[in-house]
Amino acid sequence: MKVKVLKKLENELKIEIEGSSHGLCNLITKRLLEDDGVDFAGYDLPHPLASSPIIYVRMKGERKPEAALVDAVAKVREANDAFGKELERVLKV
């Protein structure tokens, strides 16, 4: 997986994630939208055969979009870890 910065302004960030899918981008976008400092967050898959979605985030205040994105990814990681532990407990593996 490779991340490329397409646009970086004071309150906006647009990145392309090569080799990703709707699933990951949807999770990240959902976590971004839970942040009160985020004005807009979304993703686009410009071509259905090319798996390189683009995530866009725009902030309301002084907080940097990079910080919001890193926090969102950390929340996704925490949820994934919690799910993995619960799954292991339930399946007794």
Domain holding 16: CATH number? 3.30.1360.10
Distance CA 8, CA 25 (A): 18
Q: What are phi and psi of 63, to 5 degrees?
A: -65, 140
Domain span at residue 8 reads 2-91
C-alpha distances (whole Å) from 10 to each of 2, 25, 38, 67 are 23, 22, 13, 12
Give SS3 for 19.
Answer: coil
- At 22 the pLDDT is 83
- At 49 the pLDDT is 74
Residues in the chain, pLDDT under 50: none
Q: How many domains does the chain have?
A: 1
